[in-house]
Structure 1
């Protein structure tokens, strides 16, 4: 284990609150791993940059040095469409929640435009019915009569391009005969082609492949952290195993694998011979070492995730309805029942000496709950799509890893807000 990682673990351990239930908490992002999968790309007007948008946000590549790591920025939701202003001052970003951003790549300014009604409180890449599929900058006096049908939305606000021209942002959730973004480099000979896991750059004159941008990543099914090796490992829904350097976030290696089988039933073994199981539409049953059984939730229990605490005294249960339960394993009584997520609770993790529960949701959120009284302690939109898996650092009880269908993993620090 490197000296840097050892020092980080010692620091994080020192930050753990002595009494978690009495201390306000925050969830602090530390590192994000993977670029997610690609959906859109656009050249800058000068041909010097290629911006790729997808499930994790945008990645800006230097067209003069394809080997250089891209500049990466989260857009809050998955990116489904891109367009530059004519002078290249502004980038229009269409998002999977039906909204669009007009943003400057230097991060100095951005404006948000909502299309087709209020923005959902929580969004996910899977809901493409409301995605902003087309964005463009147009003159302020653009007539609706000149636009394809069904009519898109024009922003009321304007932005000033580098040339001094005022522009409005056009956003469309769906348009017939939608104009295609040109893959050809302005003033150059290169062109791109997009696949979810790679963007290929070719010279149009020679047909030669100039670069393959293949650091894009598929939906994550599970995560694991190996601090001794300094590696974070993800397994995608296609079975691919990707290993990241924990310190740099770069991909150390990746290998093909077998897609995991998704179980119909949910079951978990606990300490002291405990076993909890729920069939697809059946009840949730706790079985003790002496063979006695107790039905905790009647059918259909709609259980998606289960986790015993380290001693086996309590069982945390996540339902497809978004409700979190905590049961006393000795008596079978419910200690906590709280609605936590919009949609499935996909994974559950006990942390900090079993004093807190972290849940991963279908709603892109990661939440922390007090298992004694069910109080919400903290929440964060962890990803742009379903949060599929959680893991804890074995030496730092307040360091959590999450994985998501957006193709990324993330490292989070749970600390006091005081």
Structure 2
């Protein structure tokens, strides 16, 4: 293999990132108005460069480039407007191809990091592969179509293969470039195509469900496949005969890969396990455990010393092949931010992701301050921080956990009767916790003892969001029953019922003076209500449609809102409005799809917004002159 250099740009970026905080090493590629990025986005694919010096990771934020030895972040390649599903290095290492669900393929110069060109001809690309000589790039999509492109002629299409129906989950060229293998979603077939003519040579059909991944051995004689039928299979390429099937202790397998010397192959399954096998004997070498959710992608380094695995839990792990030890795990949320909250002084952001860890961030610098590992704890729907910042509370499927932010230990678990909690809030005075769930119930607990104070069943549908008034005396709950309800925190008595004209209340927020609260419900409106009378004070237009999140600025003069783009727009939008006049002050675009939460941080001159559709939390400069 030719040795390559991600030189000029990437070297400069490496030098600079060695001397700045973790967050600002991610500043490249941020949208206009963003001052920081927390998290790296949903992870979909990873690949080592042919010379083994770089690790490329495809995410919803772009393609991250890392030094494969030091694991230092070098660059972020951004051109895609949606998540990047798959990537591939050219055999000479000079080009990186990245493809997305909208059908765009972007080609990057790995020496400079510059964008070379974009190709587009089919929607929903989910698989990509270069031929061994680099002359052909194959892409597969959700409709069952494979395109073969002539990369020596600016990527022009030279053959279109329609396998359909069903996804083309995976593509692989044989080392001799004679065969293109596709792992199909049509019920368990593997197609072997003539790589030049596109004609079907053979069909391998011993799998009983979708084939998610295929890979050739370096000598081209063997093909390994992983399937939803919870098996991994080895095939003789020449005869098409099944050589061996691996069933024991293997779950649904989304990724298989051969080592560069062909002695080993890896299989990553939905239990979060990576299985390493000897290719010649079929004996299991290692069972690598550490991921807490399904493994999406695996890749061996070219020197065979390490292998990388990426998971739906958002983590990337680097394993030592010889010993099976986990040598490195990438820090910060690499998957989605499930939720976040801001401390009362606005200086700390606490977040939870699919990696199940709680992260505390400095809201001013964006630096990661602490990670609380929550092994064995399930999905988190919402999170809140006590006013003194010493306790974080989050809900999930199975309980409400209170954790000490200093020691990282769990203080107590609050239980409820049935259902799943969808929202949780900590009172400003630190005495009470409230939660709403999908059984139409509002729960209220004593924060010190953990005892239930009230169990309220007045809503006629799911309780989507809850919030406390600034003086902690009132709880507001928003439900899918088209009502917002105000409750006395101490007695649990219902103070008011407010009916929303055009839907439920999916996000609620009090003004800093406690006299007003705002609700949004996926329409284009923001409703402002008088807390004392329950009457509607004003209706503001926040977005063209689908307002999903709302919050007041610390001085009460501005409202921040987020939206869901639906199918018409490229990004989720964050707007800043004047509360009194409803005038639009600022607009920020950058999230992929729905903005789930917004909150002012620091002194109110910055705003945090999160989308668990792209797995990123942005900090925006909202200082208005």
What TM-score, normalized by structure 1, do the two folds share?
Answer: 0.71
Report what 1:380 is aligned to: 588
* Residue 295 of structure 1, CA deviation: 2.9
User: Whose radius of gyration is greater, 1 or 2?
Assistant: 2
RMSD (CA atoms): 4.3
Retained in 1: the 8 A contact 2:547–2:561?
no
* Residue 393 of structure 1, CA deviation: 2.2
* Residue 294 of structure 1, CA deviation: 5.7
**Aligned partner of 2:70 among 65, 71, 81:** 65
Report what 1:283 is aligned to: 483
* Residue 368 of structure 1, CA deviation: 1.9
- What does 1:324-339 correspond to in 2, within 5 Å? 324-329=526-531, 330=533, 332-338=535-541
Deviates more, 1:91-100 or 1:34-43: 91-100
- What does 1:287-366 correspond to in 2, within 5 Å? 293=496, 295-298=498-501, 301-329=503-531, 330=533, 332-338=535-541, 340=543, 343=546, 345=548, 347-351=549-553, 353-363=555-565, 364-366=572-574
Q: Structure 1 pair 218/42, CA: closer, same or farther in 2 (3 Å)?
A: closer
In structure 2, stretches of 5+ residues that fail to align are 1-20, 22-30, 173-213, 216-256, 258-298, 381-394, 396-420, 423-436, 438-461, 566-571
Deviates more, 1:187-196 or 1:31-40: 187-196
Query: d(CA) in 1 for partners of 2:369 and 2:39?
Result: 8
Query: d(CA) in 1 for partners of 2:604 and 2:170?
Result: 53
Report what 1:402 is aligned to: 609
Q: Structure 1 pair 383/339, CA: closer, same or farther in 2 (3 Å)?
A: closer
**Aligned partner of 1:270 among 465, 469, 472:** 469
Q: What are the superposed Cα offsets for residues 76-108 of structure 1, whole Å, 9 maximum, x if unpaired?
A: 432210112333232211234443322335343
* Residue 153 of structure 1, CA deviation: 4.9
Query: d(CA) in 1 for partners of 2:344 and 2:156?
Result: 46
Query: d(CA) in 2 for partners of 1:136 and 1:342?
Result: 39
Report what 2:338 is aligned to: 221
Q: What are the superposed Cα offsets for residues 4-55 of structure 1, whole Å, 9 maximum, x if unpaired?
A: x9xxxxxxxxxxxxxxxxxxxx972111122234220111122211111223
Query: d(CA) in 2 for partners of 1:376 and 1:58?
Result: 33
Q: Secondary structure at the match of 2:46?
A: strand
Q: What are the superposed Cα offsets for residues 208-242 of structure 1, whole Å, 9 maximum, x if unpaired?
A: 44633332434323324459896532123675311
**Aligned partner of 2:43 among 38, 42, 45:** 38
Retained in 1: the 8 A contact 2:62–2:77?
yes
- Greater strand share, structure number: 2
Query: d(CA) in 2 for partners of 1:58 and 1:333?
Result: 47
What is the total number of aligned residue pairs between the two structures?
A: 368
Query: d(CA) in 1 for partners of 2:142 and 2:619?
Result: 44
Report what 1:109 is aligned to: 115
Q: Secondary structure at the match of 1:415?
A: coil
Retained in 2: the 8 A contact 1:220–1:388?
no
Query: d(CA) in 2 for partners of 1:65 and 1:383?
Result: 30
Retained in 2: the 8 A contact 1:27–1:378?
no
In structure 1, stretches of 5+ residues that fail to align are 6-25, 118-129, 160-164
Retained in 1: the 8 A contact 2:510–2:517?
yes
Q: Structure 1 pair 311/101, CA: closer, same or farther in 2 (3 Å)?
A: same
Retained in 2: the 8 A contact 1:352–1:398?
no
Query: d(CA) in 1 for partners of 2:600 and 2:143?
Result: 50
What TM-score, normalized by structure 2, do the two folds share?
Answer: 0.50
Deviates more, 1:268-277 or 1:189-198: 268-277
Higher relative contact order (CA 8 A, sep 6+): 1
Query: d(CA) in 1 for partners of 2:141 and 2:60?
Result: 28
Query: d(CA) in 1 for partners of 2:122 and 2:486?
Result: 47
Q: Secondary structure at the match of 1:369?
A: strand
Retained in 2: the 8 A contact 1:391–1:401?
yes
Q: What are the superposed Cα offsets for residues 302-361 of structure 1, whole Å, 9 maximum, x if unpaired?
A: 22001121223432211133532233455713522426265460x311116222211133
Query: d(CA) in 2 for partners of 1:354 and 1:320?
Result: 23
Retained in 1: the 8 A contact 2:126–2:141?
no
Retained in 2: the 8 A contact 1:336–1:373?
no
Query: d(CA) in 1 for partners of 2:306 and 2:336?
Result: 29
Q: Structure 1 pair 344/237, CA: closer, same or farther in 2 (3 Å)?
A: farther
Q: What are the superposed Cα offsets for residues 257-301 of structure 1, whole Å, 9 maximum, x if unpaired?
A: 663221331343435766543332233356799986463414x73
Retained in 2: the 8 A contact 1:150–1:176?
no
Query: d(CA) in 1 for partners of 2:121 and 2:516?
Result: 45
